[in-house]
Amino acid sequence: MDMAAMRKKAREDMKGYCRVCPACDGRACAGEVPGMGGSGTGSAFMANLEALKNWRLNMRTIHGAREADTSLTLFGRKLSMPILAAPMTGVSYNMGGKLPEDVYSEMIIAGTEAAGTMGMTGDGADAAMYDGGVAAIAKHGGLGVPFIKPRAQSEIIARIRQAEQAGAVAVGMDIDGAGLITMALKGQPVGPKTFVELKEIVAATSLPFIVKGVMTPDEAQLAVGAGAAAIVVSNHGGRVLDSTPGAAEVLPAIADKIKGRAVILADGGVRSGSDVLKLLALGADAALVGRPMAVGAFGAGAEGVAALLNKMRSELVSAMLLTGTANVREVSRDILTAAR
């Protein structure tokens, strides 16, 4: 895969919405929502990358870890790597509209499957956004997770039924979408959920339920208490609330409270295999990648998505071998040093 050519095409096709910067750190697109930027000053987007940079990997080369096993099982599916595509929608108003919503979702799900892992799809003001993602997941044997915005209870449950009919391995709600500007502009009410409401939603399905947008230990415990099978530590890419900390900043305290009780996924600022290893060491079971997947899809379709994931996996293998990490299911926090 010619990565330079892929990025060039993505830059052309997303012109005016994403610059496909050499360093995707949110500085050039601050405040561009709709678009691919972060809310307000963009500080929450930037905080995700800064939080990862604040951790350094301890290099160790005197050990017996001669091979790096990146495989794991999530929601009953064997995956080649602990790297999943994050749910993203709004192609028309966030990415320029050169791809139809359903085609974009198909590229994400097909690309992640080709790389041996799993993709997630999202929800939005236009019904085609959620429907397209669910259709792509159904086409690929249920290998994917559709996420639903925090709508009215009945609306959420109706979409859960669609996920069930599609054979999805799990279903989730990005509760961090409660303050999305784009949803408000389109007249689609979303908002926070009480513990009782969350418990009702989780109880409405036999599928593993994922709560995305958890940023504090107390809310992680509430999500698990409500029956969630997994959480995603995420500030929604910095797109809903300015001045939030980065995911890697809050992940250790959350993991200390619920590790082993639920699957912990982390999302925000992942740009390399080394970033993935850092999140695993901080307590995540797997990492989600967002904006780079859009570049892959717009630049080279499903092949671009798969190529970027495989590149990250190769980087992860290298980082594991150089830190004495034999497998992604047992990553010690001792491989990290806080930057001074």
What is the per-residue DSSP string for 142-189?
T-EEEEE-S--HHHHHHHHHHHHHHT-S-EEEEGGGGG-HHHHHTT--
Domain spans, the chain: 3-59+72-338
Task: Please give the Cα distance from 336 to 283 (Å, whole number).
Answer: 12
Please compute the mean of the pLDDT values over residues 72-94 and round it to a whole number.
96
Please compute the mean of the pLDDT values over residues 56-76 and round it to a whole number.
96
Task: Please give the Cα distance from 248 to 243 (Å, whole number).
Answer: 15
Residue 10: pLDDT band with limits 50, 70, 90: very high
Residue 56: pLDDT band with limits 50, 70, 90: very high
Secondary structure tally for the chain: helices H, strands E:
12, 12
Burial of 192: CB neighbours in 10 Å, binned 0-12, 13-18, 19+: exposed
**pLDDT given at position 127:** 81
Task: Please give the Cα distance from 124 to 216 (Å, whole number).
Answer: 25
Of these residues, 151, 236, 271, 278, which one is catalytic? 236
> Helices (DSSP H) in 188-258: which residue ranges?
195-203, 217-225, 247-258
Does position 91 have pLDDT exceeding 90, yes or no? yes
List, in order, residues 6 or more apart from 161 with CB less than 8 Å away.
none
**pLDDT given at position 189:** 83
191 Cα distance to chain centroid: 20
* pLDDT single digits (tens) 121-165: 999 888 889 999 999 999 999 999 999 999 999 999 999 999 999
Does position 178 have pLDDT exceeding 90, yes or no? no
CATH architecture assigned to 3-59+72-338: Alpha-Beta Barrel (3.20)
Q: Quick one: residue 255, left, alpha or beta (phi over 0 = left, psi -120 to 50 = alpha)?
A: alpha
* Percent of the chain at pLDDT exceeding 70: 100
CB 336, CB 60: distance < 8 Å: no
**pLDDT given at position 126:** 84
Query: For residue 259, what is the DSSP state?
Result: B
Tell whether omega for the bond before 192 is within 30 degrees of 0, i.e. cis: no
Tell me if residue 236 is catalytic.
yes
Residue 186: pLDDT band with limits 50, 70, 90: confident
Task: Please give the Cα distance from 187 to 198 (Å, whole number).
Answer: 23
Please compute the mean of the pLDDT values over residues 222-229 and round it to a whole number.
98
